[in-house]
Chains A and B, each alone.
Chain A
Amino acid sequence: MKRKEFVIRPKHLILGLLVFIAVAILGFAVIPQVISTFTTPVPAEVAAREGAQAFLSTDYEQGQEVWVANVCKVASYEGCTIVKKSIAPMLWPSVERGQVRQSCQAIQAKLVTDTPAEGEKAHSQVWKVTLACIDAKTDKTNTGDVNVLVSEHEQSWKFEFVLFAQEAQDGE
């Protein structure tokens, strides 16, 4: 039986160490960018579109809980809490009263205001979103605008809520 012998020389150790350092540097530099390409932060416009769609898509047959859950999927924690606790109890009676069943799709969005972060206030934007809402009962399509408040949380934009008409008038 013939035996092979490997001899590790100092120059090989130095070379290996250099290669390891190069790979490590490369990994730290590239991997976050690669990851970020798969988890791109939601842009404010998308947050505004998705929020407006969820907020205005109401179905009295599915009920308040389903609506709140859909809104909260695209809302910030604070926005979800406000919708769930303050807005839903005062808004949903009108949905039931009018037997509203509509599905809304954002058509376009336009930035209205951009308020930089200040103190505890997060960076926020108001977007005017144009939606087309199909009435499930009549198949008629209503088109109109709403102003939507979104805010940036940890480099991700989230829906807060749809502004009241009075606020919208004031803001424009």
Chain B
Amino acid sequence: MANKNNWRSATLAILVLALVLGTLFITPAQADGGTTGWGNFFDTDGNLLPGVIQAGEVTQPASWMPSFPDWTGLSFDATYHQFVAPSGETILVPSTTTLFFMAMNPHESGLVDASGQLASNFGVGVEIAGQLASGNGLNFLSALFQAVSGMSQVQADQVADAAINGQNAWSLFEPGTDLATLLNLFYRLSQNDGNIYLLALLYESCASSPAGCPAELCAINPVACGLPPTPEPDIEPTPTAPPTCPSPSVAQANPSLTISPSAPPYPVVGGQDPDKRGADISGSVSIPPVIFTWYEPIYEVTESCSAAGANATTNCTRPNGQPGVLRSGVELKECKVHRESLPERINTVNTRAELSAASRDWILNDLGSKWYGAYVHRGSFNLAQFGTLTNGCSGDGTCTASLQAMQVPFADPGLFNLSIQVGTNGTYWNGQQITPPRILTGRGEIKVYVILPTLIDASTHP
């Protein structure tokens, strides 16, 4: 573990040093403002940026690595340190042994696919891909072989030349002994320097790097791993009720009902009224209209490309690039307000005069003691028989009823309770009841006077 930490520290040291020192080792392709390339991994202080996956030491079988005979079941894995940015860009730092065999197989190992390198302790700050393209890759590989293995330039040139040309570079080694020397050298190199990592390779995508993409990244960003985007669940959308408007509302002002005598000021009981004037009674009812407010939803038909169900034929492309099925839908554009003034029509009108209980009692007891045989002649009666009733609704929806009862003969003295009672139909709109029928009552009173003769001792009043 401590050894791994040494490696990691050494790797970071390589990269940070190179970044701080500027573009000495950075190939032009990456020196573009730090928003791509190495700048995607480390800040200027050398700290790992958030989101960068430090996959640690990765070992993987690789076809270009030397191998043991198949029947042994053993292979010799490539070993790297791997850093992967959220975009998929990858820094790969092969172990010295791995780097050596990458150099022996620069094409197969993906060494030439790297878009940039940072070299630590061999001064070959050149871009191998560009070098190979321009025909000078020999210099890079030769320098690499010399730096890694301590070969002479002549031998390194031969190995590099064979490697670049895809020839069998193994033929240049003495079987066993040379490789034993090299492996021992790699070990001592790492042991002595604490720095087995000599070269950091930058790949534009983890998918093109020899180490591939870490599963952690592919789960988060499959596109960065060269995978199709995570498909949305192919579930046919369940039709949902389109958004609608507010519920209708009902409002109505209070009705007014009045009934009262209008003349004369002191009406007298009919038997004592020589002119048979009686009393005039007026009644009125006014029922304001019911204001019914409702909202008309205005929909617009829209078409959208949505997920296709199983076995459905697709005919459009969804916003995420996946095929889908064109479906029509409705979209609420606005709610048009409607206010209806609904008349609450009056269907019945009752107007009555009712002698109060107190007056009834007074007639029978008090008055009866003075006028023998006094009784209640007509304690309750319909006022409408003495006048006219009108009933109707105006254009604004207000419904009214009125009573004009003239010269109503009150046969009994006392207090009469007057009432005007109306029944309504309620209100309807488009055949639908908006408010229920109701009964409204208005009340008033009238005093009916009686003239009583009184014996007065005139001698006491000169």
B187 engages A82 (CB within 8 Å) = yes
Looking at A56, A93, A164, A165, the one whose CB has the most chain B CB atoms below 10 A away is: A164
Sample of 11 more A-B contacts, CB < 8 Å, known A143-B71, A164-B76, A166-B66: A82-B183, A85-B187, A86-B184, A87-B183, A90-B59, A94-B75, A115-B174, A115-B177, A124-B177, A160-B176, A164-B67
B175 engages A126 (CB within 8 Å) = yes
Q: Which residues of B contact A143 (CB under 8 A)?
A: 71
A170 engages B168 (CB within 8 Å) = yes
Q: Residues of B with Cβ closer than 8 Å to A?
A: 59, 61, 65-69, 71-79, 95, 97-98, 168, 170-171, 173-177, 179-180, 183-184, 186-187, 190-191
**A89→B177 CA distance, assembly (Å):** 21
B176 engages A124 (CB within 8 Å) = yes
Interchain pairs with CB closer than 8 A, number: 117
Q: Residues of A with Cβ closer than 8 Å to B?
A: 56, 58, 78-79, 81-82, 85-87, 89-91, 93-95, 97-98, 100, 102, 113, 115, 121, 124, 126, 133, 142-147, 149, 160-171
A98 engages B73 (CB within 8 Å) = yes
Q: Which residues of A contact B76 (CB under 8 A)?
A: 87, 90-91, 94, 164
A164 engages B68 (CB within 8 Å) = yes
Across the interface, A100 reaches (CB within 8 A) one of B65, B74, B98, namely B74
**A168→B171 CA distance, assembly (Å):** 10
Q: Identify 18 residue pairs between A and B in the complex whose beta-carbon atoms are under 8 Å apart, listed by A's number.
A: A82-B180, A82-B187, A86-B183, A89-B59, A90-B76, A90-B98, A93-B77, A94-B74, A95-B73, A102-B73, A113-B175, A147-B175, A149-B177, A164-B67, A164-B68, A166-B170, A167-B66, A168-B175
**A126→B174 CA distance, assembly (Å):** 11
B183 engages A170 (CB within 8 Å) = no
Known contacts A89-B79, A161-B180, A171 near B67 by CB under 8 Å: no
Name B's interface SS. Answer: mixed
**List of 5 A-B pairs having minimum Cβ-Cβ separation, nearest first:** A171-B175, A164-B66, A149-B176, A144-B71, A94-B75
Name the distance in Å between A103's Cβ and chain B's nearest Cβ. Answer: 13
**A147→B176 CA distance, assembly (Å):** 9
B69 engages A145 (CB within 8 Å) = yes
Name the distance in Å between A10's Cβ and chain B's nearest Cβ. Answer: 65
Q: Which residues of A contact B66 (CB under 8 A)?
A: 164-167
Q: Which residues of A contact B179 (CB under 8 A)?
A: 163-164, 167
Name the distance in Å between B210's Cβ and chain A's nearest Cβ. Answer: 14
B176 engages A171 (CB within 8 Å) = yes
B79 engages A170 (CB within 8 Å) = no
B73 engages A100 (CB within 8 Å) = yes
Name the distance in Å between B77's Cβ and chain A's nearest Cβ. Answer: 5
Closest to B171 in A: A170
**A162→B171 CA distance, assembly (Å):** 17
**A91→B170 CA distance, assembly (Å):** 20
Name the distance in Å between A32's Cβ and chain B's nearest Cβ. Answer: 32
**A86→B180 CA distance, assembly (Å):** 10
Q: Which residues of B contact A142 (CB under 8 A)?
A: 71-73
**A103→B409 CA distance, assembly (Å):** 135
Q: Which residues of A contact B190 (CB under 8 A)?
A: 85
**A171→B79 CA distance, assembly (Å):** 27
Name the distance in Å between A75's Cβ and chain B's nearest Cβ. Answer: 11
Name the distance in Å between B173's Cβ and chain A's nearest Cβ. Answer: 7
Q: Which residues of B contact A78 (CB under 8 A)?
A: 180, 184
**A143→B95 CA distance, assembly (Å):** 33
Name the distance in Å between A59's Cβ and chain B's nearest Cβ. Answer: 12
Across the interface, B170 reaches (CB within 8 A) one of A79, A145, A160, A170, namely A170
**A169→B176 CA distance, assembly (Å):** 12
**A145→B72 CA distance, assembly (Å):** 9
**A97→B174 CA distance, assembly (Å):** 31
Q: Which residues of A contact B174 (CB under 8 A)?
A: 115
Looking at A82, A87, A146, A169, the one whose CB has the most chain B CB atoms below 10 A away is: A82
Q: Which residues of B contact A163 (CB under 8 A)?
A: 175-176, 179
B74 engages A166 (CB within 8 Å) = no
**A86→B65 CA distance, assembly (Å):** 14
Q: Which residues of A contact B168 (CB under 8 A)?
A: 166, 170
Known contacts A163-B175, A170-B170, A91 near B180 by CB under 8 Å: no
Closest to B75 in A: A94
Name the distance in Å between A50's Cβ and chain B's nearest Cβ. Answer: 17
B74 engages A121 (CB within 8 Å) = no
Q: Which residues of B contact A115 (CB under 8 A)?
A: 174, 177
Q: Which residues of B contact A133 (CB under 8 A)?
A: 71-72
